[in-house]
Chain A
Amino acid sequence: MRAFKLYFKVMRGSLATILTYIGIFVVIANFVINAQLPSKEADLKIAEPKITVFDADESPVSKAFTAYLTEHAEIVELEDTEIAINDALFDGETYYVIRIPQDFGKQMLDPERNDAELNAQGSIYVHLSIVSAQLVERYNQTFQVYKQAFGGSIPAEQLENTLDLIRTDLQAEVSTRAFLSGETYKITLLGTSFNNTFYILIALLTSVIGSTLIAMENQSVKNRDLVSGIPERQRTFGIFLATLLFSVVLWVFLIVFMYTQLGFDLLTDTRSLWLIGVSFVHMVAVLAVANFFITLMRNKGALNFFSTVFSLAVSFTSGVFVPLELIQAPVQKVASFMPTVWAVKANNAIVHMPEQAPDYSFVWQAMGIMTLMTVAFLCLTLVLRKSRQRSFA
């Protein structure tokens, strides 16, 4: 137990790093989770279009068109400058900017035409550009239908009534419902949060365990321990036990924090328990991987860089930050030599699991692969330590 106790004494030097990382995680997780928490679980969440309209025509037709847009989308007022418009599109303050040119009303009423010139600029969200363009299309088509119904042109005395009729016709609504409302959204949010904890775990385990382990493996410290009569095997066991205990405590803290944000009632959902299981197996696997690389490296000066590169590289290529479907297949293949990508895939499978006939075989498979990785990296670490011990002797 001497190595075990010594490990925690040495670890006190990394207390600042531990507290800094945990503090950052707590602040960020609190901010992100609360910003995404649903207000009412029963409602189906649908992205609403936000449109900016610049009306240079100001005719009765253009005004009626703008009024119609106001009823079907959130109208965002903007200054008519390149910077203001691009900023708003970039920041998602508006998704679609429509310019109604002069003569719009004239062109709409023209018996020879069945459309009117309009200019628009969409944002990166193609779906919302499609929805906004459909709003425009609908108005134009309905207007043209009435024009044709009147024989090709709407009589001036009928214009106001017709514009009212168009608006009334276009007021139709579709009822929307969330499927199996329960806690589906919260579970997906929980799955994402679990994925995010992977980064903190990798970063903290590599940097904190790394610096402690490197200090413990300092030759003079090691010699002191060995001459005091502690067998190498017992020392290694003590160190491994201490790293495991630290990792488990850290992991429990992260899990408890997440549930305080999302609600402990989620623990009653089977998927939530599966997420915890995957997270635990992943934590042990990451611990084994970190132990191996740190034993291999043994350079305290390079540890901070290694920890940052390793945690960010694994997280970016494994789908912790960016959805897995965006990551190219060859990158995913390389990443699959690390446990994180399997944990992320398993989490995604869990949160999208059908409620009626759930099939957890892939989750078992992912956990099995992570366990095999743990065993493999643990064996490699032990072999490495043994070979170093021999070369030193």
Chain B
Amino acid sequence: MFRHITKYKTLALVKDHSSLFWTLFFPLVLVTVFHLAMSGMFSSDTYRFDPVTVAVVTGDAKQEEIKAFDTFLDYVGVPGTPDENDGPLKVDTDPQNAYIIYIKAEPEEARVLLDKNQVYAFVEVGETVTMTAKNILNSSNSLNGSVLRSLLERYTQIKNTMNSIENLVTSGAIRPGRDFEERIRKAFESDTGLHEEDQGTKKGDVLIYFFALLGYLSIFPMAGSISSVAELEANQSSRAARSWLAPYPMWKRFFAEITPNVVLYSILIVIIYYYLGVLGVDLGPRTGYILVLLLLGTLTGIFMGTAVGSLFKGSTGIKTALGIGLPLVLGFFSGMMASEIRKLVKNSIPFLQKINPVSLVAEGLYSLYNYSTLDRYFDIVIRLSIFLVIAIVLTIIGLRRSNYESI
């Protein structure tokens, strides 16, 4: 009987060309669109530094302050000119290692440049240095502000240091030698001896979108398995009502119904993984571990669907909406649509992050990509397995001892 149901369920799945097409077509289209949309991410200005555009207003500043600031500008920036089409400042020379692109302007002109977004900020030089910028919600705005403020602080600090040294010389604590000025100038330009490592973490941070997408696609079979439960409950479909007449245990019928789904979606997730590779998304060398995690995620998605399908006895409309909506919401909270959301959730509702199966799969893939050890990976596999067991138990609770008063 088990083989009979499994065989006919498989045939039903394969012969329903429309559903089969969409089941296969949907993830592949989504992956392709996602790849096309996200491939520009590696060159994003959030992850790459472009010089900050600034208008410098000297106004009523003293001549020596203007001169000192000019020297500072030469050191950290290159001059630019306003774009004719009201775009950001254009560079006259190659910016290379410059931190800022600047233009000297009158106060009113600087305000207009900022208002038109041709510069990020305008800086007023005087006794104190003031930086004025727009509060805009975008990826690089507050980051640019951080760099510019840091540079301006450096200018003020150099002034302080020079004053302190002058005081030390005046008090006699320091006796300047012949090449004193030259040595001080060289010291101000000295390197730090700072070595920055990059162990691929940065690329992994961009890949989180793809990790979350794979997490979403492994949970996505939920929608399909919800409808499989409807094929078991005698009050939800005529086929189920008919099959109830056969003297065959519910749990065996359940597994016979669900097995073709498990096989189909497992094959699908493996295809998706290799398809991503074909698109040029490198998820790291640990293919075996990745596939185990994805298959575990797929099983979790299928049994989440059966749990929802068996526990909620309401209309198929609600179940279908949940089957489509829930994986999307979980994907959203795991950072599939915006990685910042993942951080917001982690800070505001850390518990949700720990139980969200899409996040678990995404973090598992991230840990395989970034960490040399497998501790985190196994921790995630255990958590996902617990989630899977809970989903199976809920399914059993929902399916056992059903009574149909009126079919």
Contacts and interface: CB of A to CB of B under 8 A. Distances in A.
Max count, chain A CB within 10 A of own CB: residue among B18, B34, B44, B192 = B192
Contact of B146 (A131, A136, A179, A325): A131
Nearest to A139: B192
Given A90-B201, A299-B18, A304-B320, A46 B146 contact: yes
A121 B201 CA distance: 9
B184 A148 contact: yes
A148 B144 CA distance: 33
B131 A41 contact: no
Given A124-B201, A147-B187, A316-B33, A92 B138 contact: no
A328 B370 contact: no
B20 to A, nearest CB: 10
Given A32-B344, A165-B164, A174-B130, 13 more contacts: A15-B317, A17-B320, A19-B321, A31-B344, A90-B370, A114-B191, A144-B187, A170-B157, A172-B157, A174-B153, A317-B37, A328-B40, A331-B36
Contacts of B146: 46-49, 127-128, 131
A181 B135 CA distance: 7
Interface in B312-344: 314-315, 317-318, 320-322, 324-325, 328-329, 332, 337-338, 341, 343-344
9 contacts: A90-B201, A90-B208, A120-B195, A121-B196, A142-B161, A180-B134, A305-B25, A326-B44, A354-B117
A35 B338 CA distance: 14
A232 interface: no
A326 B38 contact: yes
A138 interface: yes
A20 B116 CA distance: 42
Interface residues of B, number: 121
A105 B157 CA distance: 22
A174 B164 contact: no
Contacts of B344: 31-32, 35
B143 A128 contact: yes
Contacts of B156: 172-174
Given A14-B317, A148-B186, A305-B23, A131 B193 contact: no
A145 B161 contact: yes
B61 interface: no
A387 interface: no
Interface in B169-209: 173-177, 180, 183-184, 186-199, 201-202, 204-206, 208
Contact of A149 (B131, B139, B141, B174): B174
Interface of B: 16, 18-19, 21-23, 25-26, 29-30, 33-34, 36-41, 44-49, 99, 111-112, 114-117, 128-147, 149-154, 156-157, 159-161, 164-165, 168, 173-177, 180, 183-184, 186-199, 201-202, 204-206, 208, 223, 314-315, 317-318, 320-322, 324-325, 328-329, 332, 337-338, 341, 343-344, 346, 348, 366-367, 370-373, 375-376
Contact of B136 (A119, A130, A165, A185): A185
Contacts of B115: 179-180, 354-356
Given A28-B329, A312-B30, A352 B136 contact: yes
A302 B18 contact: yes
Contact of B157 (A35, A44, A125, A169): A169
A185 B164 contact: no
A41 B147 CA distance: 21
Closest A-B pairs by Cβ, 4 of them:
A115-B193, A172-B156, A305-B22, A127-B143
Interface of A: 13-17, 19-21, 24, 28, 31-32, 35-36, 38, 41, 43-49, 82-83, 86, 89-92, 107, 114-131, 133-138, 140-142, 144-151, 158, 165, 168-181, 184-185, 188-189, 192, 299, 301-302, 304-309, 312-313, 315-317, 321-323, 325-328, 331, 351-352, 354-357
Q: Is the interface of A mostly helix, strand, loop or mixed?
A: helix
A138 B194 CA distance: 12
A355 B116 CA distance: 8
B132 A179 contact: yes
A355 B236 CA distance: 60
Contacts of B371: 82-83, 86
A114 B184 CA distance: 11
A334 B92 CA distance: 34
